[in-house]
A and B are shown apart, each in its own frame.
Chain A
Amino acid sequence: MTDTKSGQPAQPAQPAGPAGPAGPMIDLKGVSKWYGTFQVLADCSTKVEKGEVVVVCGPSGSGKSTLIKTVNGLEPFQKGEILVNGVSVGDPKTNLPRLRSQIGMVFQNFELFPHMSITENLTIGQVKVLGRSSDEAMQRGLKLLDRVGLIAQKDKFPGQLSGGQQQRVAIARALSMDPIAMLFDEPTSALDPEMINEVLDVMVDLAKEGMTMMVVTHEMGFARKVAHRVIFMDRGSIVEDCTKDEFFGTQRSERAQQFLSKILHH
């Protein structure tokens, strides 16, 4: 196996299961969602191509976390359509568990399973969902744990690890399913400042390998380094959707400019 840490040339993300159609990996078309009468998502449309890294940012309450959770069906939506690798998320006929098993997700609060050891966290999805043998799952899990630099912690429980370590395990757990795309929902927001970089480093490596990534984050350094596109959301709408250079260069919306000046100047 190639040493994934040395930043070898981008290996194409190996698709799990049948190769999808030629279209974008994630395709949102006019997605709207209401909580009662309050609209949290308003006609959101965007695409994430295969191998693309898209950063979603915006002020809190702008709907970015909700948006990313609609992609794997954790949040239902009332209007519009989402295609992941050509499969419609909102279609009741879609096998949602199967679709989700192909998309990795990393949460703000890590959400490791606290009653299981690190290795159990890494193998349970592989064994119960993908039907791998426990030996195979263990091998794969340990390889990924080594990759995120935490092989020494394999027998511990999540509660015994720092936040940064837990989040790295959570990334390894998502990768253990050999996903075709990864979703990150504010992966560093719950971390102490000195732990943010260890998590971002893992994510940068992943991006350089060509993983398709949709990342909700305020880490503009990360966006500058690896994003292809940046989406800016405000009050449930996508206000900006442009390439990284356009976004950091000449912003068109005043709202985005305000937001950037707030989070960059301290």
Chain B
Amino acid sequence: MGGEFDWGVIWKYREALWDGLVTSFKLFGIALAGGIFFGTLLAMARLSSFRLLSVPAAGFVNLIRSIPFIMAIFWFYFLTPMIVGKFTGQQGEAVGPFTSAIVAFIMVESAYYSEIIRAGIQSIPRGQPWAAYALGMNYWQSMGHVVLPQAFRNMLPVMLTQAVILFQDTSLVYVVGLKDFLGAASKGGQITGRIVELYIFVAVVFFLICFLASWGVKKLNARLAVAR
């Protein structure tokens, strides 16, 4: 069996594949943290009664959410140096594909997370921030100690599901030539002509990671349901 397959190629390219996987996880981790952080701020801005905050926040979220992810990555990589060049009058210097991709990922993820977090904040009854204010807390204390902790607990399952999607989306960075897990496999495949074996391997690894994560989310969901 497997006469024409040469699985040894995976072992041969293990270092490149491992480096690619590390890049994917780095992208994932930074994009997740940045997306949740800026997404929270965006959600708070959108819910603000100051139109100077809520209108631009809504505009940004709606704009980002209506363009394909891959386009944001692509645009950011090629457009930013041009725009910087225009403003400084010099040839814009490329920041490199990793930094560029990170910025694009954080922008897109913060837009997606802000919608999740906005729903989470709105799920908390009005009386909770009232009680916090009545104790003398200011807006940030009320958010930080009372509203957001409860909102995040309610949102956890949805946020984790979004994280699984984000992890899959990290493979999109191939458009800017960044060597993530998929990129490493692709390159190895082109050199050795063993692209099928490597792609199957990549698919299995992605499947295992995402399947385990989804399973974990389901477990957690069940536990939260009991606790509530």
Contact = CB atoms under 8 A, between A and B. Distances in A.
Interface of A: 69, 72, 74, 97-98, 100-105, 107, 109, 111-115, 124-125, 128-130, 173-174, 177
Contacts of A111: 125, 127-128, 130-131
Nearest to A125: B135
A124 B133 CA distance: 12
A111 to B, nearest CB: 4
Interface in B4-26: none
Interface stretch (B35-43, B83-91, B136-144, B173-181): B136-144
Given A74-B134, A100-B134, 17 more contacts: A69-B130, A72-B134, A97-B136, A107-B131, A107-B134, A111-B131, A113-B145, A113-B146, A113-B150, A114-B150, A125-B136, A125-B137, A128-B137, A129-B135, A173-B135, A174-B135, A177-B135
Contact of A105 (B125, B134, B141, B149): B134
5 contacts: A72-B134, A97-B133, A100-B135, A113-B132, A174-B134
Interface of B: 125, 127-128, 130-138, 141, 145-146, 149-150, 153
Contacts of B125: 109, 111
A114 B130 CA distance: 14
A174 B153 CA distance: 26
Contacts of B141: 128-129
Contacts of B150: 113-115
B145 A128 contact: yes
A114 B128 CA distance: 9
Output the residue of B128, B136, B149 with the most chain A CB within 10 A: B136
A109 B125 CA distance: 10
B181 to A, nearest CB: 37
B105 to A, nearest CB: 30
Given A113-B146, A114-B150, A74 B130 contact: yes
A124 B149 contact: no
Contacts of B133: 74, 97, 100
Nearest first, the 4 A-B pairs at minimum CB distance are A101-B136, A125-B135, A111-B131, A105-B134
A67 to B, nearest CB: 15
B136 A100 contact: yes
A180 to B, nearest CB: 12
A98 B136 contact: yes
Nearest to B227: A159
Contact of A101 (B130, B131, B135, B145): B135
B154 to A, nearest CB: 10
A217 to B, nearest CB: 17
Contacts of B128: 111, 113
B223 to A, nearest CB: 15
Contacts of A125: 135-137
B138 A97 contact: yes
Contacts of A128: 137, 141, 145
A107 B136 contact: no
A130 B128 CA distance: 19
A72 to B, nearest CB: 6
A174 B134 CA distance: 9
A109 B130 CA distance: 11
Contacts of B149: 115
Contacts of B146: 113
Nearest to A127: B145
